[in-house]
Chains A and B, each alone.
Chain A
Amino acid sequence: MTKYQPVIGLEIHAVLETRSKMFDDAPVVDSTHGAPNIAVSPVSAGMPGVLPVINQRAVEYALRVALALDCEIALTSIFERKSYFYPDLPKGYQISQYQHPLARNGELTIHTSQGEQVVRIRRVHIEEDTGKLTHVEEDGENYSLVDLNRAGVPLLEIVTEPDLHSVEAVRAYAYGLRAVLRYLGVNSGNLEKGLLRIEPNISLRPKGSEEMGTRTEIKNLNSFRTLERALSYEIERQTEVLNSGGDIRQQTLGWNEAEQVTVPQRSKEEAEDYRYFPEPDLPPLVLEQSWVDEIRAGLPELPYTKQQRFVQQYQLKQGRAALLVEDQAVAEFFEAAMGAAQDIEARLVANWITGDLFSHMNDSGEDIEDLKLKPANLGTLVQLVSSGEINQPTAKGVLAEMLGSGRSPAEIIEEHGLGQISDTGQIEAMVSEVLAANPDELAEYHAGKEQLAQWFFGQVMRTAQGQANPQLLRMELERQLSESKQ
């Protein structure tokens, strides 16, 4: 049906969550709420006569990301001025990196329904954020207000090659990169607050062609859902334009949430002319190789590596492993639960975590670290089900209580007498009691009404208040039914 292949690249801006700004010691505050202009220094306000000084932590965070993405690190990189006029940019230029970025030629491996894919990363560079504009329409007056709390906050720009060819791949990359940033402790991954901004550029080309079509860029997508919807819409829109013989206009688009359509933001007919040149106030950023090596050695096991290890070590499916590794704390919880005892079935532990635990966390708003439930107790619970000491429905109830009180499953089972009856002597007695009490049904059964076996099963279970081990009960019932025939 569709004869085009989408060609998508992503430009991602991640706030490096330092305590002070990129080029001065103004504190970093949550710029989405709170009082305006409370975290602005002369440098981030663009006052004359001030000089920028590079924040070491921001460089360290940037290096963590660049190294985690397997980039080539430039031991000397240069900051440059990107000049344009806009009221949220107090200096009239943004300090960024251009010709000599911190890092180039990296990659991130993702997993989709098509299998494994290596997405190439073109460049990673450091820059500073802008302020925030609010438009006001009041008493017939129109104006904008400028809050500079965000101005000068360190940003990392991560640009891919146009290697992505489906919304699914974009999603896998975006989630994958977010997980990397969170594992590295440099960014909390919040799109709604603008701490992570994902800007796709997209063009279509006839399948099999190597040429690039004219591309559009989509900005201001503040959730993964809008990212996916805007891309799907844009693929469809471009397909229709090309099918009807039209040309794609190169432009920057936004996403209209109410109408669920992409809309032109500003036309790029006038080619951008940022007049980059080396920032005269900042000598080159020169890194010691030993510092880079030290940071590399301190990197944690990264999400994709962990995912593959989970698949290998615990025989989990890719999708399930991906869910577990997305949040490092969840992955740690899983492994701690597995460590509670030998031979715990990993698949079951994963099911409990991604099922009952996730839905509980979703409802309560807790993170996994906040749970009263201790991971080892989850491991024990899974083992109690596997060994037949309690059944699945009982386990659900026990888990709910574990989440509420943090107590161990053994305590809860003991207190409520929830343990499954696996004592063969006890089961034998219960079965013979039920058979003796129902002579008519027993006779009917022997006369050929075999479905009564199930009825007897239910009767015994009722006597046992649902706690008889079902396998043992079924065996014992079959034994006694066939013996009573003679």
Chain B
Amino acid sequence: MSLTLDEVKHIAHLARLELSAEELELYRQQLSSILDHVAQLDELDTADVEPLTSVLAEQSELRVDEPGQALPLDKLLGNAPDTDRDQFKVPPILD
């Protein structure tokens, strides 16, 4: 399965990655070969197999609705590149 350059550009855009022309071609080849590798699974007949959505457990455990402690502000904001008025400060976003 061979990806086109436009598909790679689209994927890069969704991940907010800026790639050079060389990188686009490099990743096009690498991603294509990963897809080829995974596509080997298509050879199996899975007609009678239920789709699996999780490998963790059969079902989720549910939690009782009981509030606990929130993170202290210094812990919450400690790793943020920039803060202001007890909030994360980010580049302007206009709706």
Chain A residues packing against B (C-beta within 8 Å): 18-20, 25-28, 35-42, 45, 53-59, 76, 78, 83, 85-87, 133-136, 142-148, 220, 254, 265, 273, 275, 278, 280-286
Interface of B is mostly: loop
Contact indicator A135/B94 (Cβ below 8 Å): yes
Contact indicator B60/A87 (Cβ below 8 Å): no
Partner of A284, one of B60, B68, B88, B95: B60
A408 to B13, CA, bound (A): 72
Could you say which residues of chain A place their CB within 8 Å of the CB of B6?
A: none
Contact indicator A56/B63 (Cβ below 8 Å): yes
- The interface-forming segment of B23-31, B35-43, B69-77 is B69-77
Pairs across A and B, CB under 8 Å, 12 listed: A20-B65, A25-B66, A27-B70, A36-B86, A37-B86, A54-B62, A55-B65, A87-B90, A87-B93, A142-B92, A145-B85, A286-B58
Could you say which residues of chain A place their CB within 8 Å of the CB of B44?
A: none
A265 to B94, CA, bound (A): 10
**Please, how many residues of chain B have a CB less than 8 angstroms from a CB on the other chain?**
37
Q: With contacts A37-B76, A41-B71, A144-B93 known, is A19 near B66, CB below 8 A?
A: yes
Taking the complex as formed, is B56 at the interface, i.e. its CB lies under 8 A from any CB of chain A?
Answer: yes
Contact indicator B71/A56 (Cβ below 8 Å): no
CB distance from A10 to the nearest CB of B (A): 21
CB distance from B88 to the nearest CB of A (A): 4
A281 to B61, CA, bound (A): 12
Contact indicator A145/B59 (Cβ below 8 Å): no
Could you say which residues of chain A place their CB within 8 Å of the CB of B94?
A: 135
Contact indicator B71/A143 (Cβ below 8 Å): no
Q: Per-position contact with A for B74-88: 1 when CB-CB < 8 Å, else 0? A: 001100000011111
Taking the complex as formed, is B49 at the interface, i.e. its CB lies under 8 A from any CB of chain A?
Answer: no
Contact indicator B57/A283 (Cβ below 8 Å): yes
Could you say which residues of chain A place their CB within 8 Å of the CB of B66?
A: 19-20, 25
Partner of B88, one of A54, A145, A278: A145
Tell me the number of A-to-B contacts counted with CB atoms below 8 Å: 131
A56 to B66, CA, bound (A): 10
Could you say which residues of chain A place their CB within 8 Å of the CB of B76?
A: 37, 40, 45, 148
Could you say which residues of chain A place their CB within 8 Å of the CB of B89?
A: 143-146
Counting chain A CB atoms within 10 Å of each CB, which of B66, B70, B95 scores highest? B70
Lowest 3 A-B CB distances belong to which pairs? A57-B65, A27-B67, A25-B68
Counting chain A CB atoms within 10 Å of each CB, which of B53, B62, B65 scores highest? B65
Taking the complex as formed, is B54 at the interface, i.e. its CB lies under 8 A from any CB of chain A?
Answer: yes
Could you say which residues of chain B place their CB within 8 Å of the CB of A283?
A: 53-54, 56-60
Could you say which residues of chain B place their CB within 8 Å of the CB of A41?
A: 68-71
Partner of A19, one of B10, B65, B92: B65
A35 to B70, CA, bound (A): 13
A133 to B89, CA, bound (A): 10
Taking the complex as formed, is B14 at the interface, i.e. its CB lies under 8 A from any CB of chain A?
Answer: yes
- Closest B residue by C-beta to A132: B87
A41 to B65, CA, bound (A): 15
Contact indicator A278/B53 (Cβ below 8 Å): yes
Counting chain A CB atoms within 10 Å of each CB, which of B10, B58, B59, B60 scores highest? B60
CB distance from B70 to the nearest CB of A (A): 5
A78 to B52, CA, bound (A): 11
A57 to B62, CA, bound (A): 9
Q: With contacts A144-B90, A145-B87 known, is A55 near B63, CB below 8 A?
A: yes
Please give 11 more A-B residue pairs, beta carbons under 8 A apart, in addition to A26-B70, A134-B87, A145-B88.
A19-B66, A25-B63, A25-B68, A40-B71, A144-B89, A144-B90, A144-B93, A275-B14, A283-B53, A283-B59, A285-B60
Partner of A26, one of B58, B60, B68: B68
Contact indicator B54/A284 (Cβ below 8 Å): yes
Q: With contacts A20-B65, A26-B68, A55-B62 known, is A143 near B92, CB below 8 A?
A: yes
Partner of B62, one of A59, A83, A220: A59
Q: With contacts A54-B62, A144-B90, A285-B59 known, is A26 near B67, CB below 8 A?
A: yes
Could you say which residues of chain A place their CB within 8 Å of the CB of B57?
A: 283
Could you say which residues of chain A place their CB within 8 Å of the CB of B92?
A: 135, 142-144
Counting chain A CB atoms within 10 Å of each CB, which of B53, B57, B91, B95 scores highest? B53
Could you say which residues of chain A place their CB within 8 Å of the CB of B77?
A: 37
Contact indicator B95/A54 (Cβ below 8 Å): no
Contact indicator B67/A28 (Cβ below 8 Å): yes
Contact indicator B93/A86 (Cβ below 8 Å): yes
- Closest A residue by C-beta to B87: A145
Could you say which residues of chain A place their CB within 8 Å of the CB of B86?
A: 35-37
Partner of A143, one of B59, B62, B90: B90
Partner of B54, one of A35, A86, A254, A280: A280
A134 to B67, CA, bound (A): 26
Q: With contacts A282-B60, A284-B54, A285-B59 known, is A37 near B68, CB below 8 A?
A: no
Contact indicator A135/B93 (Cβ below 8 Å): yes
A275 to B77, CA, bound (A): 29
